[in-house]
Amino acid sequence: MPKASIVVPAYNVAATLAETLRALLRQTFDDYEIVLVDDGSTDATAAIAAPFEGARFRIVSQSNRGLAGARNSGIAAARGDYIGFCDSDDLWHPAKLERHVRHLDSRPDVGVSFSGSAMIDETGKPLGLSQRPMLRGIDAAHIFRRNPVGNGSAPVIRRAALDAIAWRPAGEYTRDWWFDETFRQSEDIECWLRMALTTDWSFEGIPGDLTLYRINSGGLSASTEAQLRAWERLVEKLSPLAPGFFARHTPAARAYQLRYLCRRAISDGDATAAGRLAKHSLLSSRRPLWEEPAKSATTLAAALVLGGLGSDRFHSLRAALGKRGLPTNETS
Amino acid sequence: MPAKTIVHLVDDTTAGGVTRVIDFMLASPEMAGLGRHRVVVVPRGRFSAPALDDDIIVSHLSVSWRNLPQLVALRARYADRTLIHVEHSYTAAFTGLKVRHRPRFFALLRTAYSLFDRLVAVSEAQGRWLSERGLVRREALAVIPSCVDLAPFLRMPPRYGTPRVIGAIGRFDEQKGFDILIRAFRETRNPDIRLHLIGDGADRVALEALAAGDDRISFQSFSPDPASVMSKLDLIAMPSRWEAYGLVALEARAAGRPLLVSRVDGLEDHVAAGARAVSSNTVESWREAIARAVEAGPALHIGTARAREEAQRRQRETPRLWNALIDGARGATSRDAA
């Protein structure tokens, strides 16, 4: 039995998969396996993955179930005590697994170990931007507001912590669910928050940008409205678990979520949506303003400037200023 | 040798379940074989220990920073006596939901438990948690699931067949999760089934508001005769958010009632003994679980019958486990349970 497993969900990722797998095979920690879940790809994904198959690399194929369904099949097939996740367009730093294993070994109360991420573009070039989440002292309210885990390629999770939230919905006969497969967006935060609220496993980060997280200029395919709907459905689903918690923390968490969607709308050049989202974020809670004044102010200013200048001139301005500081397609 | 004397210390705020467990210890002839039991009520938050001349001191006190001086005083005053603590409250799910600063909370528990010779977990699941989190030394830990007098429940004819009346019994409080159950039940469309909520508490008005408009749902107060309440129910539902053990689950098993429980803490013990687990404590899962249990009907029999037998065995085991604990603790050389 390997000590750790890395689950790689893959759906039509012929362009990036090989680079992702090569990075995962270069890990300095030795006792691990890779479980690639080909989630019904229709491109060359399977052909690219096949030559990698070997002692530490297995392929699970299924008809398309979505990201949550692919991750769940990976968890079901994984044999390690620790399970890491790497989306098939992201890259892991060679020492990432080793550092998370050391962290989880030394901290038996930590269920989810995560790290910061550095952003790369489609060609793999660093964008000079990082996700540097809070690493310690994380409670459920912080997870709800700021999702410090950040992206789907950041965490390495203890099997026992995953199994504490496993369930088998009606009509599922083959394996458990850990991520909720009825979600097409917000599946990560739904899972983390459910774990934080229903178990006593801790979330803790380790220093370093150990994940290289790829930003696609096309952005996510989902509209900001669809993302907001998924997020609101998460709140609706989990609220009965802890009504007091959600009554207290939903306004601020919603303000952060709206601010994030506003930044996405800005980077997509959608002035109408950006203006509306900025306004709703402010109305939901002022908390982002005093917790993260610089980022909130930049977002509001950018939404206003975009509204005033129009998309074309805004993007020329942004190009002239360089990307630093201005909203881009990040994850929080 | 004269019979040993055993004193049980309880808070003035001790919950009803703890009182019933101690009543059982005092009344059961098998437990009387261990020695002479008595109960002393001590106020919370005192800085001194009461005068006691008993051989064995069993604390059922609540552990908090405020109550810690009293526990320290107890250890100091009775340095040569056997001190046992029974942890009736804290669990993994409680910690997840209610504790904001976990390192501080775990430090409290380690400190408090270290004052006792032995620590009793009231369920296997709680015992696993205490030892996995390193809150107690493994050799100081004993698991003795809580027990009450099950005789009136074991006498009842079992309920086999299609369940119609679903019961939920307990305090109307966040812990019990009856709000989840009401929401889920309302989403079931079956006109033949009923939900009876039996209990009282701060959340009564909120729960009644949640149930308003669905006349399949009704409320009753606690009864002095829990067995007669149980006899009118076909299936017991426990959607608890946390639960150190779950005496109602034990009673339901003893009564031969099918039992649905959320998969938290001590309720896992009942699943292992034959109860049906509702795998995630969401409205959706409960709606499905209720619908499936009603459809399954006779298919519930085997689990229910096994759960009943296990409850009977539990009742027989309890005095034996206490006996082993007290005998073992007398010979123990270590004073440190953490």
Which of B95, B115, B143 is the C-terminal boundary of a domain?
B143
Task: Mark whether A107 and A130 lie in a shared domain.
Answer: yes
Which of A214, A232, A255 is the C-terminal boundary of a domain?
A214
- Parallel/antiparallel/unpaired status of strands A202-214 and A91-92: antiparallel
> Domain range holding B190?
151-313
Task: Mark whether A153 and A111 lie in a shared domain.
Answer: yes
pLDDT at position A329 = 44
Place of tokens 């370093």: A208
Q: Is the dihedral of CA A218, A224, A229, A231 positive or negative?
A: positive
Instruction: Give the CATH number of the domain where residue A44 resides.
Output: 3.90.550.10
Q: Is the dihedral of CA A181, A183, A189, A193 positive or negative?
A: negative
Partner residues linked to A84 by β-bridges: A6, A156
Whether residue A138 has pLDDT greater than 50? yes
pLDDT at position B328 = 77
Which whole-number Å values give the CA distances from A90 to A42, A210, A322, B121, in the listed order? 20, 11, 24, 45
CA distance A150 to chain B (A): 21
Q: Total structural domains in chain B?
A: 2
Among B99, B183, B292, the residue with its CB nearest the CB of A240 is: B183
Among B96, B106, B284, the residue with its CB nearest the CB of A199 is: B96
Give A 148-177 residues with CB within 8 A of chain B. 164-170, 176
* pLDDT tens by residue, B102-139: 899 999 999 999 999 999 999 999 999 999 999 999 89
Task: Mark whether A174 and A70 lie in a shared domain.
Answer: yes
Instruction: Give the CATH number of the domain where residue B127 resides.
Output: 3.40.50.2000
- Which residues of B fall within a CB distance of 8 Å from A140? 96
Q: Is residue A327 part of a domain?
A: no
Task: Mark whether A241 and A188 lie in a shared domain.
Answer: no
Q: Is residue A331 part of a domain?
A: no
Whether this prediction's pTM lies above 0.90 is answered by no
Pairwise CA distance, residues B268 & B91, whole Å:
12
Maximum distance among all Cα pairs of chain B, rounded to whole angstroms: 66
- Strands annotated E in A3-56: 4-10, 32-39
Which of A161, A180, A214 is the C-terminal boundary of a domain?
A214
Tokens of residue A22, six digits: 């090569």
Q: Total structural domains in chain A?
A: 2
Task: Mark whether A196 and A296 lie in a shared domain.
Answer: no
Phi and psi dihedrals of B17, rounded to 5? Answer: -60, -40
Task: Mark whether B160 and B308 lie in a shared domain.
Answer: yes
Which of A214, A249, A276 is the C-terminal boundary of a domain?
A214
Task: Mark whether B305 and B167 lie in a shared domain.
Answer: yes
Name the more confident of B203 and B328.
B203
* pLDDT tens by residue, A246-268: 999 999 999 999 999 998 888 88
Choose, out of A72, A195, A198, the residue to mutate when testing the contact with B (most B CBs < 10 Å): A198
Q: Is residue B318 part of a domain?
A: no
Over range B300-320, report the average pLDDT: 90
Answer yes or no: are the C-beta atoms of A213 and A119 closer than 8 Å: yes
State the pLDDT confidence band at B338, using cuts at 50, 70 and 90: low
Task: Mark whether B215 and B289 lie in a shared domain.
Answer: yes
Task: Mark whether A137 and A257 lie in a shared domain.
Answer: no
* Percent of chain A topping pLDDT 90: 70
Q: Is residue B251 part of a domain?
A: yes
Closest CA to A29 of A114, A96, A112, A108: A96
Whether residue A326 has pLDDT greater than 60? no
> Domain range holding A153?
4-214
Q: What is the DSSP string of B49-112?
A: PPP---SEEEE-PPP-TTTHHHHHHHHHHTTTSEEEEEE-S--HHHHHHH-S-HHHHHHHHHHH
Task: Mark whether B105 and B248 lie in a shared domain.
Answer: no
State the pLDDT confidence band at B210, using cuts at 50, 70 and 90: very high
* pLDDT tens by residue, A58-111: 999 999 999 999 999 999 999 999 999 999 999 999 999 999 999 999 999 999
Task: Mark whether A73 and A144 lie in a shared domain.
Answer: yes
Task: Mark whether B181 and B206 lie in a shared domain.
Answer: yes
Answer yes or no: are the C-beta atoms of A84 and A97 closer than 8 Å: yes
Answer yes or no: are the C-beta atoms of B207 and B179 closer than 8 Å: yes
